[in-house]
Amino acid sequence: MPSFACVPGTRVEAMGDLWAAFSPASGETLLLNDTSVAILELLSEGAMPLPAIVERLARDVARPEGEIETLLRDHWPKIIEAGLVCVVGQASPER
Amino acid sequence: MNHAGPTPVSTLGAIPIAAVLAALRGRGLWIELGAAVLRVQGDAPGLVAQLQSVYRCHPFLTQSGWADLHVRIERPHGLRRWLRPQVVFESDGRVPFEPFPADTALPLLEWGTNWLIGQRLNHLLLLHSGVVERGGRTMVLPAMPGSGKSTLTAALSLSGWRLLSDEFGAFDPVERMFRAVLKPVALKNASIEVIRRFAPEAHLGPEFPKTRKGTVAHLAADEEAVRRRHESAAPGAIVLPRWQAGSPTRLEPLAPQSVFGAIAFNAFNYKVLGAVGFDAVVHLVRTCPAYQLIYSDLADAIARLDELWARLP
């Protein structure tokens, strides 16, 4: 199962009600909402596969995992395409 | 001992036409814009008088240690030299545009130079905006084409504000200051008459009808703006202008997320600068109060902006 991580050097700065995010990989800049930035913040702690992302976010914001999955479906393609998040290969099997 | 001061340099407007013609056909005319030096050569008919009109307060320089932009405006070889004559824009051996009719040499020079500036001056973040200064701080007027930016910038420059540029907000990301790119203000169509009525004493160059943007004319930068063209200015406020027929003047605060998009995504070279551009825009948004200005009456709009400036901390 692939893991995802925040692209090194990604910049995120608060801009009013939104956040400006810059990817050094793609050179793209996006204006993101809190949900997308929460994903980036999580992934800045270390790479993790999608199920773990869902589980952690659900726990952090005290929402059902199903709701988080729906949110991810909406925001995930955008932050991947913008080069803010990258795939880092297979996660190590748990011991 | 000779205690004479530096030799005063004559202005382009005051020099005999023959001297300007000789410069253009020889080693060139050097025009200091502030953030860049433009060297112009060529044999385009009528260009001498046009340059003397719209760069009239700029110093007449026929040599310099450096030019950022080298441009030739010339008549092509072949039939088009004589039959429905044209002129071409050449820079560094390349001809990036289609020829223009020979009687539109100045618009070709101005638009072509703007294109070069947008391509080359990548040590600066080039916002697509007018910039004027008062009290050492700049009012940055970013806007989409057709929003009335140049008309408002021209009127401000005729109302006690120092003109830095009507096209480029040239922000030095290291010094965090704005620099002048001092060229004549390009006015189009109805805005030409608007400025004539607003300031009958304003020096407008010749009108060029039937260009790709309609009729254009250029407002020459005044003596003070030219004298201070090397003087940087700190960011002050960002004002997004929008002319709307019949509208009362409204000056409404803008949220940071709106301002970020308006200046970053409309800049000429934001993507080229990468993280440097990102940091510069973040700095500007966080440093400058921002407003949208909706107006129909130019004098009233300027009065509101004067009030705003008096209130700025």
Q: Which segments of chain A have a pLDDT < 70?
A: 89-95
Q: Judge: B274–A11 Cβ closer than 8 Å, yes or no.
A: no
Would you say the C-alpha torsion B80, B81, B83, B88 has a positive or negative sign? positive
The least confident of A81-90, B212-221, B279-288 is A81-90
3-state secondary structure B29-98: EEEECECCEEEEEECCCCHHHHHHHHCCCCECECCCCCCCEEEEEECCCCHHHCCCCEEEEEECCECCCC
Q: Judge: A29–B282 Cβ closer than 8 Å, yes or no.
A: no
Residues of B in contact with A13 (CB under 8 A): 278, 282
Query: Per-residue pLDDT averaged across B11-19, rounded?
Result: 96
Residues of B in contact with A29 (CB under 8 A): 264-265, 270, 278
How far is the alpha carbon of B230 from chain A, nearest alpha carbon, in Å? 32
Predicted local confidence at residue A92, as pLDDT:
42
Predicted local confidence at residue B1, as pLDDT:
46
CA dihedral B40, B41, B42, B47 (to 10 degrees): 40
Residue of A nearest to B272 (CA): A27
Residue of A nearest to B284 (CA): A15
Read off the tokens for B188. 């189009």
Q: Judge: A29–B264 Cβ closer than 8 Å, yes or no.
A: yes
Q: Judge: B275–A31 Cβ closer than 8 Å, yes or no.
A: no
Q: Judge: A31–B257 Cβ closer than 8 Å, yes or no.
A: yes
Give the confidence band of B9 by pLDDT, cuts at 50, 70, 90: confident
Asked if residue B233 lies in contact with residue B138, where contact means CB atoms within 8 angstroms, the answer is yes
The shortest CB-CB distance from B275 to any of A11, A17, A31 is to A11
**Whether the predicted model's global pTM rises above the 0.90 cut:** yes
- pLDDT tens-place string over residues B138-185: 999 998 777 889 999 999 999 999 999 999 999 999 999 999 999 999
Give whole-number Cα distances, B25 to A37, B19, B37, in Å. 59, 10, 18
Predicted local confidence at residue B4, as pLDDT:
52
Asked if residue A12 lies in contact with residue B275, where contact means CB atoms within 8 angstroms, the answer is no
The answer to whether ipTM exceeds 0.90 is no
Predicted local confidence at residue A77, as pLDDT:
86
The sheet that has B86-90: what strands, in order across it? Answer: B29-32, B37-42, B69-74, B86-90, B100-101
How far is the alpha carbon of A46 from chain B, nearest alpha carbon, in Å? 23
Predicted local confidence at residue B6, as pLDDT:
56
Read off the tokens for B8. 């005063």
Residue of B nearest to A9 (CA): B275
Of residues A57, A56, A41, A50, the one with CA closest to residue A90: A50
Of residues B256, B129, B174, B277, the one with CA closest to residue A29: B277
Predicted local confidence at residue B214, as pLDDT:
93
Distance CA B296, CA A4 (A): 52
Q: Judge: B261–A24 Cβ closer than 8 Å, yes or no.
A: no
Residue A10's SS3 state is coil
Residue of A nearest to B271 (CA): A27
Q: Considering only CA atoms, give the Rg of chain B.
A: 20
Q: Judge: B257–A22 Cβ closer than 8 Å, yes or no.
A: no
Distance CA A68, CA A54 (A): 6
Of residues B147, B143, B150, the one with CA closest to residue B239: B143
The shortest CB-CB distance from B257 to any of A9, A16, A27 is to A16
Query: Per-residue pLDDT averaged across B269-273, rounded?
Result: 96
Query: Does the pLDDT of residue B135 top 70, yes or no?
Result: yes
The shortest CB-CB distance from B255 to any of A9, A16, A29 is to A16
Q: What is the mean pLDDT of chain B?
A: 94
Query: Per-residue pLDDT averaged across B121-147, rounded?
Result: 94
Residues of A in contact with B287 (CB under 8 A): none
Residues of B in contact with A20 (CB under 8 A): 257, 260, 264, 278, 281-282
Query: Does the pLDDT of residue B83 top 80, yes or no?
Result: no
Residue B121's SS3 state is coil
**pLDDT top residue among B37 and B82:** B37
Q: Judge: B260–A24 Cβ closer than 8 Å, yes or no.
A: no
Inform me whether the C-beta atom of residue A9 falls under 8 Å from chain B C-beta atoms: yes
Q: Judge: B275–A24 Cβ closer than 8 Å, yes or no.
A: yes
Query: Per-residue pLDDT averaged across B262-291, rounded?
Result: 96
The identity of residue B305, as a single letter, is L
Give the confidence band of B8 by pLDDT, cuts at 50, 70, 90: low
